[in-house]
Homo-oligomer: A and B are copies of this chain.
Amino acid sequence: MQIGEAARASGVSAKMIRHYEAIGLVPTADRRDSGYRDYADEDLSRLRFIRHSRDLGFPIEQIRVLLRLWTDRGRSNAEVKALARTHLAELEGRIVRLREMADVLQHLADACDGDGRPDCPILAGLEAAGCDGSRAGNRSVCHPNPGAD
């Protein structure tokens, strides 16, 4: 099967399949006389594995490890689980950081009438913010009602 069909079947774009080959995430594909890459059904499962890992946000280097474990019959599921937990912590961390941003922004937006006047608590908040280390102490601008959520 050509790369386009492999792409359709695996959900990984042809562009990315070539890229994964270039960085050694998938083995060098067989070539036809024409130079076209040729894929077998077995190759698809690896591509799908990669795509599912990407769908869960795993970075390439962790997927590389996951693939090694996946194809290693003597693997320890403890190692897999540890990897999963590490990534889970990373995801939760990102969520927390985004949640903080969203909460602060929501607070600022709530304080803004949006009635067309120039007066704007959002811009005032971005101007002051008070969370830059210099002149600390007025953190309430940054995290209003601490602990009141």
- A14 at interface by CB-CB < 8 Å: no
Which of B11, B45, B116, B132 meets A78, CB within 8 Å? B116
> A88 and B116: CB pair below 8 A?
no
Q: Identify which of A81, A101, A113 gathers the most chain B CB atoms within 10 Å of its CB.
A: A81
Chain A 104-140 near chain B by CB (<8 Å), digits 1 or 0? 1110110011111111101101110101111000000
Residues of chain B within 8 A of A49, CB atoms compared: 126-127
- A53 at interface by CB-CB < 8 Å: yes
Q: Which residues of A contact B (CB under 8 A)?
A: 9-11, 45, 48-49, 51-53, 55-57, 66, 69-70, 72-78, 80-82, 84-85, 87-88, 91-92, 94-95, 98-99, 101-102, 104-106, 108-109, 112-120, 122-123, 125-127, 129, 131-134
> A66 and B126: CB pair below 8 A?
yes
With A77-B116, A80-B120 known, 10 other A-B pairs at CB within 8 A are A52-B127, A57-B98, A77-B117, A77-B119, A77-B123, A80-B122, A81-B120, A88-B105, A91-B101, A95-B99
> B84 and A118: CB pair below 8 A?
no
A134 to B119 alpha-carbon distance, docked (Å): 53
Report how many copies the assembly holds.
2
- Given A48-B129, A106-B88, A131-B52, the answer on whether A70 and B115 have CB atoms closer than 8 Å is no
Residues of chain B within 8 A of A52, CB atoms compared: 125-127, 129, 131-132
